[in-house]
Amino acid sequence: MTSLPRILTIMGSGETAPTMVSTHRRLTALLPSPVHAVVLDTPYGFQENASELASRAVDYFKVSVNVDLRVAGLTR
């Protein structure tokens, strides 16, 4: 049985800066298409603007990396 590759990427607050696009593209290129990705909101899920931060991450990956993210965690 062959398992699909999985990548766990831990991101900090500056990880959606324009300078990180090439890094995120290289990481997602290692995965089979279509890429199934999830953002866990646990680092910021307690904040009042958690939904906005999650939306920003989803938008960043859609526009800059061409990956659809799902949000999992406290904002759901």
Coil, strand or helix: which one is 67?
coil
pTM of structure: 0.81
The structural domains of the chain, with segments of one domain joined by +, span 18-72
Q: Spell out the residues 6+ positions from residue 36 whose beta carbon is closer than 8 angstroms to its own.
A: none
> Does residue 6 or residue 1 have the better pLDDT?
6
Q: What is the helix (H) or strand (E) element at residue 53, kind and residue range?
A: helix 50-60
| DSSP track, 3-18 | PPP-------TTTTSG
pLDDT tens digits, 52-72: 888 999 999 999 999 999 998
pLDDT tens digits, 4-57: 778 888 887 778 888 999 999 999 999 988 998 998 887 788 888 888 888 999
